[in-house]
Protein backbone atom coordinates (compact mmCIF):
# COMPACT_ATOMS: atom_id res chain seq x y z
CA UNK A 1 0.00 0.00 0.00
CA UNK A 2 1.30 3.42 -0.92
CA UNK A 3 1.52 6.01 1.82
CA UNK A 4 0.04 9.31 0.68
CA UNK A 5 2.39 12.02 1.83
CA UNK A 6 0.15 14.89 0.81
CA UNK A 7 -3.41 13.88 1.62
CA UNK A 8 -4.67 17.32 0.53
CA UNK A 9 -3.34 16.81 -2.99
CA UNK A 10 -6.17 14.58 -4.16
CA UNK A 11 -9.07 16.87 -4.90
CA UNK A 12 -11.11 14.17 -6.56
CA UNK A 13 -11.21 11.92 -3.55
CA UNK A 14 -10.76 13.93 -0.36
CA UNK A 15 -13.67 16.37 -0.44
CA UNK A 16 -16.93 14.78 -1.30
CA UNK A 17 -20.60 14.58 -1.07
CA UNK A 18 -22.54 17.59 0.11
CA UNK A 19 -22.28 21.14 -1.22
CA UNK A 20 -22.07 23.46 1.75
CA UNK A 21 -25.61 24.75 1.55
CA UNK A 22 -27.49 21.51 1.02
CA UNK A 23 -27.09 19.98 4.42
CA UNK A 24 -25.12 20.35 7.59
CA UNK A 25 -21.51 19.66 6.76
CA UNK A 26 -19.82 16.87 8.70
CA UNK A 27 -17.10 17.99 11.14
CA UNK A 28 -14.43 16.04 9.22
CA UNK A 29 -15.49 17.57 5.93
CA UNK A 30 -15.50 21.03 7.57
CA UNK A 31 -11.92 20.46 8.78
CA UNK A 32 -10.74 19.53 5.31
CA UNK A 33 -12.58 22.33 3.56
CA UNK A 34 -11.27 24.86 6.11
CA UNK A 35 -7.71 23.72 5.42
CA UNK A 36 -8.19 24.21 1.70
CA UNK A 37 -9.79 27.62 2.16
CA UNK A 38 -7.04 28.67 4.55
CA UNK A 39 -4.42 27.85 1.93
CA UNK A 40 -6.21 30.14 -0.54
CA UNK A 41 -7.12 32.86 1.94
CA UNK A 42 -4.06 35.00 1.36
CA UNK A 43 -3.79 37.82 -1.20
CA UNK A 44 -0.38 36.70 -2.49
CA UNK A 45 -1.45 33.08 -2.84
CA UNK A 46 -4.63 34.11 -4.65
CA UNK A 47 -2.55 36.15 -7.08
CA UNK A 48 -0.13 33.25 -7.59
CA UNK A 49 -2.96 30.79 -8.30
CA UNK A 50 -4.50 33.34 -10.63
CA UNK A 51 -1.23 33.85 -12.51
CA UNK A 52 -0.61 30.12 -12.87
CA UNK A 53 -4.19 29.59 -14.04
CA UNK A 54 -3.87 32.40 -16.60
CA UNK A 55 -0.63 30.98 -18.04
CA UNK A 56 -0.35 28.79 -21.12
CA UNK A 57 -1.33 25.25 -20.18
CA UNK A 58 -2.18 26.53 -16.70
CA UNK A 59 1.51 26.20 -15.86
CA UNK A 60 4.07 28.85 -14.92
CA UNK A 61 7.76 29.00 -14.09
CA UNK A 62 8.47 30.32 -10.61
CA UNK A 63 10.88 32.73 -12.38
CA UNK A 64 7.87 34.47 -13.98
CA UNK A 65 5.90 34.73 -10.73
CA UNK A 66 8.43 36.55 -8.56
CA UNK A 67 8.43 40.01 -10.15
CA UNK A 68 4.65 40.46 -10.42
CA UNK A 69 4.04 39.79 -6.73
CA UNK A 70 7.08 41.83 -5.68
CA UNK A 71 8.36 39.40 -3.06
CA UNK A 72 11.58 37.46 -2.65
CA UNK A 73 11.98 34.06 -4.30
CA UNK A 74 12.02 32.17 -0.95
CA UNK A 75 8.78 33.91 0.06
CA UNK A 76 7.11 33.13 -3.26
CA UNK A 77 8.31 29.53 -3.05
CA UNK A 78 6.90 29.28 0.47
CA UNK A 79 3.49 30.45 -0.73
CA UNK A 80 3.63 28.04 -3.68
CA UNK A 81 4.47 25.19 -1.31
CA UNK A 82 1.35 25.91 0.77
CA UNK A 83 -0.75 25.88 -2.41
CA UNK A 84 0.86 22.63 -3.46
CA UNK A 85 0.26 20.96 -0.09
CA UNK A 86 -3.39 22.02 -0.24
CA UNK A 87 -3.76 20.31 -3.60
CA UNK A 88 -4.12 23.37 -5.83
CA UNK A 89 -0.77 23.15 -7.63
CA UNK A 90 1.73 20.51 -8.67
CA UNK A 91 5.43 21.17 -9.14
CA UNK A 92 7.93 19.86 -11.64
CA UNK A 93 11.56 20.80 -12.09
CA UNK A 94 13.04 21.45 -15.53
CA UNK A 95 16.62 22.66 -15.69
CA UNK A 96 17.20 25.41 -13.15
CA UNK A 97 13.58 26.32 -12.52
CA UNK A 98 10.52 24.85 -10.90
CA UNK A 99 7.25 24.95 -12.81
CA UNK A 100 3.90 25.04 -11.07
CA UNK A 101 0.75 23.69 -12.69
CA UNK A 102 -2.86 24.06 -11.65
CA UNK A 103 -4.40 20.78 -10.48
CA UNK A 104 -7.36 20.18 -12.79
CA UNK A 105 -10.62 20.40 -10.91
CA UNK A 106 -9.18 21.58 -7.60
CA UNK A 107 -10.64 25.10 -7.74
CA UNK A 108 -13.79 23.93 -9.47
CA UNK A 109 -14.46 21.39 -6.77
CA UNK A 110 -14.01 23.92 -3.99
CA UNK A 111 -16.25 26.27 -5.92
CA UNK A 112 -18.95 23.64 -6.21
CA UNK A 113 -18.88 22.98 -2.49
CA UNK A 114 -19.49 26.65 -1.83
CA UNK A 115 -22.13 27.15 -4.45
CA UNK A 116 -25.67 27.54 -3.23
CA UNK A 117 -27.08 26.67 -6.60
CA UNK A 118 -24.85 23.70 -7.35
CA UNK A 119 -26.90 20.77 -8.53
CA UNK A 120 -26.05 17.38 -7.05
CA UNK B 1 -21.39 60.62 0.64
CA UNK B 2 -22.26 57.67 2.84
CA UNK B 3 -19.45 56.00 4.72
CA UNK B 4 -19.69 52.22 4.37
CA UNK B 5 -19.00 50.74 7.78
CA UNK B 6 -18.90 47.15 6.59
CA UNK B 7 -17.47 47.17 3.10
CA UNK B 8 -17.40 43.35 3.09
CA UNK B 9 -21.18 43.17 3.52
CA UNK B 10 -22.08 44.03 -0.05
CA UNK B 11 -21.39 40.92 -2.07
CA UNK B 12 -23.05 42.25 -5.20
CA UNK B 13 -20.83 45.28 -5.51
CA UNK B 14 -17.51 44.68 -3.79
CA UNK B 15 -16.13 41.66 -5.65
CA UNK B 16 -16.38 41.95 -9.37
CA UNK B 17 -15.11 41.27 -12.75
CA UNK B 18 -12.68 38.42 -13.23
CA UNK B 19 -13.08 34.83 -12.08
CA UNK B 20 -9.83 33.77 -10.48
CA UNK B 21 -8.63 31.61 -13.34
CA UNK B 22 -9.39 33.87 -16.29
CA UNK B 23 -6.80 36.54 -15.72
CA UNK B 24 -4.40 37.76 -13.12
CA UNK B 25 -6.39 39.02 -10.18
CA UNK B 26 -5.82 42.65 -9.17
CA UNK B 27 -4.09 43.13 -5.79
CA UNK B 28 -7.14 44.95 -4.36
CA UNK B 29 -9.46 42.18 -5.49
CA UNK B 30 -7.06 39.60 -4.03
CA UNK B 31 -7.16 41.40 -0.67
CA UNK B 32 -10.93 41.41 -0.60
CA UNK B 33 -11.29 37.81 -1.71
CA UNK B 34 -8.68 36.71 0.84
CA UNK B 35 -10.64 38.41 3.64
CA UNK B 36 -13.81 36.61 2.60
CA UNK B 37 -12.05 33.26 2.33
CA UNK B 38 -10.39 33.80 5.73
CA UNK B 39 -13.79 34.34 7.31
CA UNK B 40 -14.95 30.99 5.93
CA UNK B 41 -11.70 29.11 6.50
CA UNK B 42 -12.59 27.75 9.93
CA UNK B 43 -14.32 24.42 10.59
CA UNK B 44 -16.79 25.88 13.09
CA UNK B 45 -17.72 28.77 10.83
CA UNK B 46 -18.19 26.43 7.88
CA UNK B 47 -20.51 24.30 9.99
CA UNK B 48 -22.44 27.38 11.15
CA UNK B 49 -22.88 28.66 7.58
CA UNK B 50 -23.92 25.18 6.52
CA UNK B 51 -26.48 24.92 9.33
CA UNK B 52 -27.96 28.34 8.59
CA UNK B 53 -28.10 27.51 4.87
CA UNK B 54 -29.83 24.20 5.57
CA UNK B 55 -32.47 25.84 7.81
CA UNK B 56 -35.96 26.87 6.71
CA UNK B 57 -35.70 30.15 4.82
CA UNK B 58 -31.92 29.93 5.17
CA UNK B 59 -32.33 31.46 8.62
CA UNK B 60 -31.54 30.03 12.06
CA UNK B 61 -31.83 31.08 15.68
CA UNK B 62 -28.49 31.21 17.49
CA UNK B 63 -30.22 29.07 20.13
CA UNK B 64 -30.36 26.19 17.63
CA UNK B 65 -26.73 26.53 16.56
CA UNK B 66 -25.00 26.24 19.93
CA UNK B 67 -25.59 22.57 20.77
CA UNK B 68 -24.61 21.11 17.37
CA UNK B 69 -21.19 22.77 17.33
CA UNK B 70 -20.61 22.05 21.04
CA UNK B 71 -19.19 25.46 21.94
CA UNK B 72 -20.28 28.19 24.35
CA UNK B 73 -22.77 30.82 23.24
CA UNK B 74 -20.18 33.66 23.33
CA UNK B 75 -17.84 31.60 21.12
CA UNK B 76 -20.61 30.78 18.66
CA UNK B 77 -21.68 34.42 18.60
CA UNK B 78 -18.09 35.46 17.93
CA UNK B 79 -17.89 33.14 14.92
CA UNK B 80 -21.27 34.37 13.66
CA UNK B 81 -20.06 37.96 13.97
CA UNK B 82 -17.04 37.20 11.76
CA UNK B 83 -19.35 35.63 9.16
CA UNK B 84 -21.63 38.66 9.36
CA UNK B 85 -18.76 41.13 8.94
CA UNK B 86 -17.57 39.20 5.89
CA UNK B 87 -20.99 39.55 4.30
CA UNK B 88 -22.15 35.93 4.53
CA UNK B 89 -24.85 36.37 7.19
CA UNK B 90 -27.21 39.06 8.39
CA UNK B 91 -28.58 39.25 11.93
CA UNK B 92 -31.94 40.25 13.30
CA UNK B 93 -33.18 40.18 16.87
CA UNK B 94 -36.62 38.83 17.75
CA UNK B 95 -37.50 38.60 21.42
CA UNK B 96 -34.65 37.08 23.37
CA UNK B 97 -32.77 35.53 20.48
CA UNK B 98 -30.76 36.62 17.49
CA UNK B 99 -31.52 35.06 14.12
CA UNK B 100 -28.92 34.69 11.41
CA UNK B 101 -29.83 34.59 7.74
CA UNK B 102 -27.70 33.69 4.74
CA UNK B 103 -27.01 36.67 2.47
CA UNK B 104 -28.42 35.68 -0.93
CA UNK B 105 -25.67 35.26 -3.48
CA UNK B 106 -22.74 35.66 -1.09
CA UNK B 107 -21.55 32.06 -1.29
CA UNK B 108 -22.51 31.75 -4.95
CA UNK B 109 -20.46 34.78 -5.87
CA UNK B 110 -17.41 33.50 -4.03
CA UNK B 111 -17.92 30.17 -5.71
CA UNK B 112 -18.07 31.76 -9.14
CA UNK B 113 -14.83 33.63 -8.55
CA UNK B 114 -13.11 30.35 -7.75
CA UNK B 115 -14.62 28.36 -10.55
CA UNK B 116 -12.35 27.48 -13.42
CA UNK B 117 -15.26 26.73 -15.68
CA UNK B 118 -17.42 29.74 -14.83
CA UNK B 119 -18.59 31.41 -18.00
CA UNK B 120 -18.35 35.19 -18.12
For A3-39, the pLDDT digits (tens) are 444 444 444 444 555 666 656 788 888 899 999 999 9
Has the ipTM of the complex gone over 0.85?
A: no
Task: Lay out the sheet containing B97-102: strands in order across.
Answer: B59-61, B97-102, B89-94
**How many whole angstroms from its chain centre is CA B108?**
10
Q: How many residues does chain B have?
A: 120
Of A31, A105, A112, the CB nearest to B43: A31
Tell me the chain B residues in contact with residue A37 when contact means C-beta distances shorter than 8 Å.
37-38, 40-41, 46
CATH of domain B26-105: 1.10.10.10
- Closest-CA residue of chain A to B48: A24
Q: How many CB atoms lie within 10 A of CB B115?
A: 21
DSSP annotation of A2 reads -
Asked if residues A110 and A34 have their Cβ atoms less than 8 Å apart, the reply is no
Asked whether the predicted pLDDT for residue B7 surpasses 60, the reply is: no
- Say yes or no: A86 contacts chain B, CB-CB below 8 A: no
The whole-number pLDDT of residue A22 equals 58
The whole-number pLDDT of residue A7 equals 40
- Helix then strand then coil, in percent of chain B rounded to 5, is 55, 10, 35
Q: How many CB atoms lie within 10 A of CB A49?
A: 27
The whole-number pLDDT of residue A23 equals 60
Asked if residues B62 and B74 have their Cβ atoms less than 8 Å apart, the reply is no
Q: CA of B11, closest CA in chain A: separation in Å?
A: 14
**How many whole angstroms from its chain centre is CA B63?**
19
Note the pLDDT tens digit of each residue in A38-90: 999 999 999 999 999 989 999 999 999 999 999 999 999 999 999 999 999 99
The whole-number pLDDT of residue B2 equals 41
> Nearest 5°: CA angle at A106, between B103 and A76?
100
Asked whether the predicted pLDDT for residue A118 surpasses 50, the reply is: no
Asked whether the predicted pLDDT for residue B46 surpasses 90, the reply is: yes
CATH class of domain segment(s) A26-114: mainly alpha
Amino acid sequence: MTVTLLPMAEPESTVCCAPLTRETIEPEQADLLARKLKALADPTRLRLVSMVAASDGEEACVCDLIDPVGLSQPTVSHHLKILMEAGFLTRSKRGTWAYYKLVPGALGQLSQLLDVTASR
